[in-house]
Amino acid sequence: MDCEQRKAVAWKGDGAKMLKVELRSLEQEDLVLEEKDWAQALGIELTPELSREPLEIYCELSKSGDVISAKGWVQGKMVLECDRCLKGFESGFKSFFEVHYRPQCEEMAEEEEYSEEQFEVVYFDGDILDIADQIRQTVLLSVPMRALCRDDCRGLCGGCGSDLNVESCQCQEPPADPRWDALRKMKF
């Protein structure tokens, strides 16, 4: 069976249901979801800065016993603010995810022990699996902890506030750091 035959558009209709899969469709074969649309149309809650253009989503879903495995990637562009010069810039990203879904049971067994390679387990209830939240989390985890518009960004002057990427500093002397005042007063 080739990829086109396995490709599933789960739940035709309004866009908010595009990332929902009926579990009975996984009984016979694995599914591949390929979507390209705006986050809001796909039912994913993101700020406009994190979804500057339509998201591209690829997800392979397979079922083994009660466990449903979902792995794939999300690609898009986001607008960030540089941590050095405070200017906005656009940054592309492609982030990968892998998650295992298990049905929520009334009598949950003791937490199973897994090998050294831990993976995320999400419990769900019902006959429909919604992967929109996993996509949202993947995008949020793609935001860098320290955003730089470019690797050699020189930032802003601490004294006069000049953007050192555009102009030189207007300060006569480098600004003094008050945290060192106690050491300057010491006599040796």
Give the count of beta carbons closer than 10 Å to the beta carbon of residue 103. 14
pLDDT given at position 7: 38
Residue among 146, 169, 156, 142 at smallest CA distance from 87: 156
Residue among 141, 127, 51 at smallest CA distance from 96: 141
pLDDT given at position 3: 37
Q: Fill in the DSSP letter of residue 175.
A: P
pLDDT given at position 8: 38
Can you give the pTM of this predicted structure? 0.72
54 vs 133: CA distance, rounded Å: 17
164 vs 154: CA distance, rounded Å: 6
The one-letter amino acid at 163: D
pLDDT given at position 119: 66
18 vs 16: CA distance, rounded Å: 6
pLDDT given at position 2: 39
pLDDT given at position 175: 65
pLDDT given at position 15: 40
pLDDT given at position 28: 82
Q: Looking at the chain, which runs of residues are DSSP E strands?
A: 20-22, 31-37, 55-64, 67-81, 88-103, 120-124, 128-130
Q: Would you write out the chain's pLDDT as a tens digit for each of its 188 residues?
A: 333 333 333 333 344 446 888 888 888 889 898 999 888 888 888 888 888 889 999 999 999 888 899 999 999 999 999 999 999 999 999 999 999 999 887 445 445 554 445 567 888 888 888 888 899 999 999 999 999 999 999 999 888 888 999 998 878 776 678 888 888 888 88
